[in-house]
């Protein structure tokens, strides 16, 4: 594993980090989760990305990670980076979501209790809340740091104009964010085309992309259609649908697959290396269902494929 510094902060993150959004809550096998996290840490992946609402029920991913941290001697708090977030709905009532000071600080206290730690390394505002003044949300983040409950501030899922305003407020409070987390992949170039990446570079803020495989679209799974057990076939899945798997997409994936096979690599290897080659990316968040997926991502870091990685899916051929 190798590490990148988060721009103007001294904190270094591994080039890939483990996201615990899915597969690590109470609905999943605890022993399997523990094996994955142990193997992840043994590979030098020291950053574990969480949020208050991760897992089913919400919060259970933090609870399970906290249990592992408490019970297993191989996972030492001082050797890892823990990030968590607040903003999406976590409990019923008017204070269960959003960017209000009430929600942000109450949510952080609950996250710390579930994790069994006295602070997290990065505390994110998980989304922009149009019903709360940005100054209130940003001041809550700053106060979390000043109270010793977080070491650094992060922002996630903000429209570009609101992100720029949030950065301005935080810098005026002498507490600039060190990272911004957003959707980015070969299929979704939005943060590049709208100028967000360039702005982050200018402001000295690192970028942490998630959904780098576009919820499974950037695999060989959809080369010939839509498998019955896939996410695209699941009408309840919130992020991809059957309509996303077009003939044009399959043609692009086939070209990408053919290019990858010339180096004994895969679509996922090229997709991962694409985001890591993007300027200002500090670490790429990956989620894994089992140990074999983790092995595949680690193998992708070893491949000599940088010269064939396309700038977008349309340039695959």
Closest CA to 196 of 180, 212, 178: 180
Residue 86 domain flag: yes
Tens digits of per-residue pLDDT, 195-208?
Answer: 999 999 999 999 99
Tell me the pLDDT of the chain averaged across its residues: 94
Residue 154 domain flag: yes
Tally: H helices and E strands in the chain: 10, 10
- When computed from its CA atoms, the radius of gyration of the chain, rounded to whole angstroms, is 19
Residue 265 domain flag: no
Residue 106 domain flag: yes
What is the DSSP secondary-structure string of 56-101?
TTTTHHHHHHHHHHHH-TTS-GGG-EEEEEE-S--SSSTTSSSS-H
- Count structural domains, the chain: 1
Tens digits of per-residue pLDDT, 223-259?
Answer: 877 877 777 777 767 777 788 878 888 899 999 999 9
Q: Select the more confidently predicted residue: 243 or 93.
A: 93
Say which residues have a Cβ less than 8 Å from residue 119's Cβ, sequence separation at least 6: 112, 148, 149, 150, 151
Tens digits of per-residue pLDDT, 270-294?
Answer: 999 999 999 999 999 999 999 999 9
Task: For residue 114, name the pLDDT band (cuts at 50, 70, 90).
Answer: very high
**Cβ-contact 85, 50 below 8 angstroms:** yes
CATH number for the domain that contains residue 116: 3.20.20.100
Tens digits of per-residue pLDDT, 20-73?
Answer: 999 999 999 999 999 999 999 999 999 999 999 999 999 999 999 999 999 999
**Cβ-contact 19, 61 below 8 angstroms:** no
What pLDDT, on a 0 to 100 scale, did the predictor assign at position 317? 63
Q: Provide the domain limits for residue 52.
A: 3-183
Residue 313 domain flag: no
Residue 176 domain flag: yes
Predicted TM-score (pTM) of the model is 0.95
Residue 217 domain flag: no
What pLDDT, on a 0 to 100 scale, did the predictor assign at position 265? 96
Give the DSSP letter of residue 253: H
Is the bond preceding 48 in cis, omega lying within 30 degrees of 0? no
Residue 18 domain flag: yes
As to burial, measured by CB atoms within 10 angstroms (0-12 exposed, 13-18 middle, 19+ buried), residue 236 is exposed
């Amino acid at each position: 594993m190798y590490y990148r510094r988060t721009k103007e902060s001294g904190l270094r993150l591994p080039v890939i980090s483990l996201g615990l959004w899915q597969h690590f809550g109470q609905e999943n096998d605890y022993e399997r989760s523990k094996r994955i996290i142990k193997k992840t840490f043994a590979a030098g992946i020291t950053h574990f990305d969480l949020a208050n609402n991760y897992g089913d029920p919400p919060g259970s991913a933090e609870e399970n990670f906290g249990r592992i941290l408490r019970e297993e001697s191989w996972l030492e708090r001082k050797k890892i980076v823990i990030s968590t977030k607040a903003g999406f709905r976590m409990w019923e009532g008017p204070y269960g979501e959003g960017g209000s000071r009430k929600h942000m600080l109450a949510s952080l206290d609950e996250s710390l209790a579930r994790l069994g730690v006295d602070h997290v390394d990065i505390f994110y505002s998980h989304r922009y809340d149009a019903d709360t003044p940005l100054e209130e949300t940003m001041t809550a983040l700053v106060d979390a740091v000043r109270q010793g409950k977080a070491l650094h501030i992060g922002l996630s899922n903000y429209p570009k104009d609101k992100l720029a305003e949030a950065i301005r407020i935080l810098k005026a409070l002498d507490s600039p964010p060190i990272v911004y987390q957003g959707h980015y992949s070969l299929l979704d170039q939005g943060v590049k085309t709208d100028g967000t990446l360039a702005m982050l570079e200018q402001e000295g803020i690192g970028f942490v992309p998630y959904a780098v495989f576009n919820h499974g679209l950037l695999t060989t799974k959809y080369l010939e259609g839509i498998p019955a057990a896939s996410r695209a076939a699941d009408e309840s899945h919130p992020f991809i649908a059957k309509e996303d798997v077009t003939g044009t997409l399959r043609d692009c994936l086939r070209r990408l697959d053919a290019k990858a096979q010339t180096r004994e690599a895969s679509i996922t290897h090229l997709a991962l290396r694409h985001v890591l080659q993007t300027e200002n990316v500090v670490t790429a968040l990956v989620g894994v269902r089992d140990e074999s997926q983790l092995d595949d991502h680690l193998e992708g870091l070893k491949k000599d494929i940088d010269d064939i990685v396309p700038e977008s899916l349309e340039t695959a051929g």
